[in-house]
Structure 1
Amino acid sequence: MSTVLVIGAGGVSSVCVHKMAMNADIFSDIHLASRTKSKCDAIAASVKERTGVGISTYEIDAEEVPAMVNLIKKVGPSLVVNLALPYQDLPIMDACLEAGVNYLDTANYEPKEEAKFEYKWQWAYHERFKQAGLMALLGSGFDPGVTSVFTMWLKKHKLKTIRQLDILDCNGGDHGQHFATNFNPEINIREVTAPARHWENGEWVETPAMQVMTEFDFAEVGTRNAYLMYHEELESLSKFIPELQRARFWMTFGDAYIKHLTVLQNVGMTSIEPIRYQGKDIIPLQFLAAVLPKPESLGETTKGKTNIGVIATGEALDGSGEKTFYINNICDHEDAYEETGNQAVSYTTGVPAMIGSAMVVQGTWQGAGVFNMEECDPDPFMEMLGAHGLPWNVTELDGPVNF
């Protein structure tokens, strides 16, 4: 039984904290902090109503390292779970090092002034965490996170080598809004508008954003347009699977989303360059994020399902030649809302954050330093995944995908 401190009070945090409270045998004492304490209080009230578990809440600016250190020392957790914004990863890691506590997040660091997310900044912390005897677990969401674990489970149980990998993320949900994002609008739009990159023959291949598209028939959702994007697990997977010849990430978007996003780009509203307005500098994308619907407000109206998984091709473990496997999860938005008060996009990230936290606090995954999900044994994580709301399915395909 362990004490944990969760930072952030969005939809993912809400799901994670609800699921922690449902596993009081693992998480005996849960603390929640964010810049806006009222959001923490609202989550705590929901958790109390649904589970009967009480949660302590705090106001904190996660970028203020001394304040974070003081809070960590006050709470005394064995793990800090960072579910705040990617910009805040490094100061929270600094605070964990100073306070002497383990660290976990769901998304890698991204500087505010540049739409460029990669692991190099956090990997640079490895020796400091190692010397401190602490563990930092990166990317314990769905993608990254579960998709990485799916891949390594296939490599452990089905494929001796993986030469080709495609990650497919489909949200077939309808929230009834003209335009809204299913997670933090600022982070979502920065990701989507960045150039696409994929790994091929030992190097990165870059293409313009949202220019490469394929159709894929997603079970229980239907045929959707999936667009080639860059996503951070491609960086870690290409590092930890040296034989990987090609790795790509695909995400589905509807025509209405693409139309709205194109207009917003054309008028400059997705820019992260400051502009002067009424004597003040403002960031257009931050202003846009402030006027868009909050992702955590979409749960009640969202219908449909998500379908996220990986397709891997390589040499079969049993020596039977080349084989292709598809491993995926399907999550229902309405079921997720009924259980936690949040839609499935938050649910599919918040549940893995809880499971990764359980892996660390129970000592199932151990180590001193900075680790990605690919470096850990996939089996115990996969066992919990199926038992806590995200069942998975493995299918052998006739051959490699050719899109």
Structure 2
Amino acid sequence: MSHVLIIGAGGVGSVVVHKCAQIPEVFTRITLASRTVAKCEAIAQSVKARTGVQVAVEQVDADNVAETVALIKRLKPDLLLNVALPYQDLPLMDACLETGVDYLDTANYEPPDVAKFEYKWQWAYRERFEKAGIMALLGSGFDPGVTNVYCAWAQKHHFDEIHTLDIIDCNAGDHGQAFATNFNPEINIREITQRGRYWEHGEWVETDPLSWSMSYDFPEGIGPKKCYLMYHEELESLVRNIRGLKRARFWMTFSEQYLTHLRVLENVGMTRIDPIKYQGTEIAPIQFLKAVLPEPASLGPLTKGRTCIGCVLRGIKDGKEKQLYIYNICSHEEAFREVGSQAISYTTGVPAMIGAKMMLQGLWKQPGVWNMEEFDPDPFMADLNTYGLPWTVVEL
């Protein structure tokens, strides 16, 4: 018997609940909580219709530690699965510490007033979680998450040393909108407009936002796409935990149309995160922009095409040079047919469910605060194939 409390009822939250409900022998009780109960109820109805599983719903303000603590004490879950906003990671970790409950998230903490995401705030909880005898699993999405597990699996089975890593994230889908983001617009735009950063020869090297690009020929008929170098959080933990890394980079594809809209919005100040006064009210322009852009969950029925996310690894095995490409291809249409969400939400939500399953089954279980690559990758890799994100590995 295990009870999971899922906090966050956006696109990813919806996928997580649907996927947990498909495995009632592991997730015997599911509670979904959010600030907006109506969103939880809509997801619960969809889950009931698709699987017959009853999902309980609750209202909670994830920023309010006391409120979350009261909810946890009343429900007594075995695990808190956080798919709310990155700003809420620390309040939810505080609530878990106070109640002695395990914690999992899909994205690292970001302070609301600075567009800077890094692990230092969450890593600072390590000793307190150890002392409390509870576990926090950080970044159990796709990137971060699956990409970290790919690296750990390659290190375990294919390399003595991994020297270079390129994580390449391609969304070859199309939703037909002039400009829309596939997940929370505020988080998405904050991430893209930051300076790029990659690891080389033991130090971080910075680049201007989206100033470096390359063309990559994606497999299975997706073909060549332009990819841009960005900073992404999994690099921060991988350079610590993957032995021998000399260079690590992260790349993402964007269409010219998307980048043109983004540049215009940036130039006129609509992507600013600092509040301005408008008719006596303070509002951050990016929050207003979020309100006028299409809701990411609404893109599900509109999006056609596929995503391809993977790792290109070069290194040494038995004294010989070796190069591997490990990737997943996910169809937007198939994801929508199965759980009513597009592939961006699906590729994050499925690994969140699998990470929770690893913890609840005791396969990944150790007090403290951990990143994905610090555990045995094999059971997670097996579950990816079983639960909707099959992977392919090719020697290049």
Query: Does TM, scored on the shorter chain, surpass 0.5?
Result: yes
Aligned runs of 1:10-21 on 2, under 5 Å? 10-21=10-21
* Aligned residue number for residue 126 of structure 1: 126
Which portions of structure 1, spanning 4 or more consecutive aligned residues, are displaced by more than 2 angstroms?
Answer: none
TM-score normalised by length of structure 2: 0.99
* Aligned residue number for residue 68 of structure 2: 68
The alignment partner of 1:352 has SS state of helix
How many residue pairs get matched? Answer: 395
The alignment partner of 2:109 has SS state of coil
Say if 2:231 is the partner of 1:221: no
* Aligned residue number for residue 321 of structure 2: 322
Letter of the aligned partner of 2:380 in structure 1? F
* Aligned residue number for residue 296 of structure 1: 297
Return the alpha-carbon distance in structure 1 between the equivalents of residues 288 and 74 of structure 2. 35
Aligned runs of 1:199-218 on 2, under 5 Å? 199-218=199-218
Letter of the aligned partner of 1:238 in structure 2? V
Aligned runs of 1:1-400 on 2, under 5 Å? 1-219=1-219, 220-316=221-317, 319=318, 321-397=320-396
Return the alpha-carbon distance in structure 1 between the equivalents of residues 243 and 388 of structure 2. 32
Return the alpha-carbon distance in structure 1 between the equivalents of residues 133 and 59 of structure 2. 29
The alignment partner of 1:165 has SS state of strand
Native 8 Å contact 1:139 1:373 kept in 2: yes
Q: CA deviation at 1:280?
A: 1.1
The alignment partner of 2:392 has SS state of strand
Native 8 Å contact 2:151 2:242 kept in 1: no
Native 8 Å contact 2:90 2:122 kept in 1: yes
Letter of the aligned partner of 2:5 in structure 1? L
Q: Which moved more, 1:327-336 or 1:239-248?
A: 239-248
CA-to-aligned-CA distance 1:53-97 (integer Å, 9 cap, x gap): 000001110010010001011111110000000000000000001
Native 8 Å contact 1:18 1:47 kept in 2: yes
Return the alpha-carbon distance in structure 1 between the equivalents of residues 223 and 187 of structure 2. 27
Return the alpha-carbon distance in structure 1 between the equivalents of residues 133 and 254 of structure 2. 43
Gaps of 5+ in 1: 398-403
Q: CA deviation at 1:248?
A: 0.1
The alignment partner of 1:306 has SS state of strand
Return the alpha-carbon distance in structure 2 between the equivalents of residues 63 and 153 of structure 1. 36
Letter of the aligned partner of 2:356 in structure 1? S
Return the alpha-carbon distance in structure 2 between the equivalents of residues 162 and 284 of structure 1. 43
Return the alpha-carbon distance in structure 1 between the equivalents of residues 216 and 243 of structure 2. 28
Letter of the aligned partner of 2:321 in structure 1? E
Return the alpha-carbon distance in structure 1 between the equivalents of residues 326 and 96 of structure 2. 35
Return the alpha-carbon distance in structure 2 between the equivalents of residues 360 and 129 of structure 1. 15
The alignment partner of 2:204 has SS state of strand
Return the alpha-carbon distance in structure 2 between the equivalents of residues 75 and 189 of structure 1. 35
Return the alpha-carbon distance in structure 2 between the equivalents of residues 361 and 286 of structure 1. 36
Q: CA deviation at 1:320?
A: 5.0
Q: CA deviation at 1:241?
A: 1.9
Letter of the aligned partner of 1:281 in structure 2? E
Letter of the aligned partner of 1:295 in structure 2? P
Letter of the aligned partner of 1:131 in structure 2? K
Letter of the aligned partner of 2:224 in structure 1? T
Native 8 Å contact 2:161 2:243 kept in 1: no
Native 8 Å contact 1:221 1:304 kept in 2: no
Q: CA deviation at 1:184?
A: 0.6
Gaps of 5+ in 2: none
The alignment partner of 1:351 has SS state of helix
Letter of the aligned partner of 2:388 in structure 1? G
Return the alpha-carbon distance in structure 2 between the equivalents of residues 297 and 61 of structure 1. 23
The alignment partner of 1:264 has SS state of helix
Return the alpha-carbon distance in structure 2 between the equivalents of residues 283 and 112 of structure 1. 11
Native 8 Å contact 1:7 1:80 kept in 2: yes
Q: CA deviation at 1:42?
A: 0.5
Q: CA deviation at 1:242?
A: 4.1
Q: CA deviation at 1:6?
A: 0.2
Of all paired residues, the percent bearing the same amino acid is 63
Return the alpha-carbon distance in structure 2 between the equivalents of residues 38 and 98 of structure 1. 28
TM-score normalised by length of structure 1: 0.97
Native 8 Å contact 1:325 1:394 kept in 2: yes
